[in-house]
Amino acid sequence: MEHSEYFPYTELFKEKLSIARIAELVLSFYKRLAIENSDFNKLYLVSERPSLYDSIDIQKSDAQKILADEILNQNIEDIRKQDKVENPGIDYSRDASVLFSLEAKTGKETLIILNFSFGTKIKSSIGAIAINKYCFDSYDKAKFFLDAEVAVFNVIYSILKIRERDFTRKTRAFKVPLGWITYFSDDSEWGIPDDLGGIEYEHVDEGKYLILSREDITSDSEKLGAGKQKLLEVMEEIKRRVPEYGK
């Protein structure tokens, strides 16, 4: 598998959700993705703990129940140990994290593996541990992925990061870095200005996107270098205008 030069990360507002509700949201998210890419119609649990089912066909009527059962199965030992609840059901909710990972495939290869974390004690988030280059090889695919997250989940911040070590190191000076496409909720704490130079804005109902480019810049080294430099300049401008944006 050829790995993507972009990787997604999404921070969610903290909510105490039942396992059944988590399954409902996650299934809705994948159904949106499947509108444009049928590879998302079948999901596989990724875990050292044995799964209950071989796969999850998200279009089947029992998909939500199957996913909820799998999420509960992945977290039941921690619930028993930490929460002292011996036999929780899918309606169970907790402040501590509910964790699980799901894989979508393209043919026999991984398309993307996403890690989900829901809870109130630490950050709720959606991250990735493996991404096929095919997953985000165009602006339309990348933007559709972020749009699906924003439409379904209670998103604070979402980004398609550029996977490059030196650039990543430089962005650590900022609380929430910018990427190829970055979303901020209007209710986020960072107060990102609406008039930053060199970046495109797209305002939506409850937030805004900051867009570096409407094309994939990773296939052209000059465009990639210029894009990374522009993002660093914009992040420095935010830091000057919003001091709390810096660490």
Query: For position 190, what pLDDT does the model report?
Result: 87
Q: Sign of the C-alpha dihedral, residues 156, 161, 166, 167? A: negative
* 106 phi, psi to nearest 5 deg: -120, 110
Torsion of CA 185, 191, 197, 200, to 10 degrees: 0
Query: For position 123, what pLDDT does the model report?
Result: 87
Q: Is 156 exposed, middle or buried (0-12, 13-18, 19+ CB in 10 A)?
A: buried
Q: List 9's β-bridge partners, or say none.
A: 127, 159
H or E segment and range at residue 9: strand 6-12
Contacts (Cβ under 8 Å, ≥6 apart) of 38: none
Residue pLDDT tens, the chain, 247 long: 899 999 999 999 999 999 999 999 999 999 999 999 999 999 999 999 999 999 999 999 999 999 999 999 999 999 999 999 999 999 999 999 999 999 999 999 999 999 999 999 888 999 999 999 999 999 999 999 999 999 999 999 999 999 889 999 999 999 999 999 999 999 988 889 999 999 999 999 999 999 999 999 988 899 999 999 999 999 999 999 999 998 7
State the pairing for strand pair 42-45/155-162.
unpaired
Contacts (Cβ under 8 Å, ≥6 apart) of 84: none
Q: List 117's β-bridge partners, or say none.
A: 99, 125
Query: For position 122, what pLDDT does the model report?
Result: 86
Query: For position 219, what pLDDT does the model report?
Result: 85
Query: For position 174, what pLDDT does the model report?
Result: 95
